[in-house]
Structure 1
Amino acid sequence: MRTYALTVFKQTGEKLLDESFTAENDNEAKKVGNARLAEEGYSEHTHRCVSPEAKLVLFHR
């Protein structure tokens, strides 16, 4: 399992969500990240999800 970081920001730059989760690969991480964003109602906020190598898996501005 690999550890991914999911972060959501306000327009001001303040963090609304900053958490880690594990997934088998980038595709699974994308699904988990999108589900978590939908759960919290942050799908349309600025967000990013990065892999352990700092590769962007999800990004929305």
Structure 2
Amino acid sequence: MRTYILTVFEKTGKKLLDESFQAANDEEAKKIGDARLTKEGFNEHTFRCVSPEAKLILFHR
């Protein structure tokens, strides 16, 4: 399993969510990250999800 980091920001730059989670690969991480964003209602906020190599998996500005 690999560790991914999901971060959500307000327009002011304040972090609303900053957490790590485990996924087998980038595709699974996209699904997990998207589900977490939907659950918390953060789909329209600025967010990013990065892989262990710092590759952007999900991004919204």
Q: What one-letter code is carried by the residue in structure 2 that aligns with 1:46?
A: T
Q: What one-letter code is carried by the residue in structure 2 that aligns with 1:38?
A: T
Structure 2 unaligned segments of length 5 or more: list them: none
What's the Cα RMSD here? 0.2
Q: TM-score, normalised by structure 2?
A: 0.99
Identity %: 75
Q: TM-score, normalised by structure 1?
A: 0.99
Structure 1 unaligned segments of length 5 or more: list them: none
Deviation for aligned residue 1:40: 0.3
Corresponding residue pairs, total:
61
Deviation beyond 2 Å, 4+ runs, structure 1: none
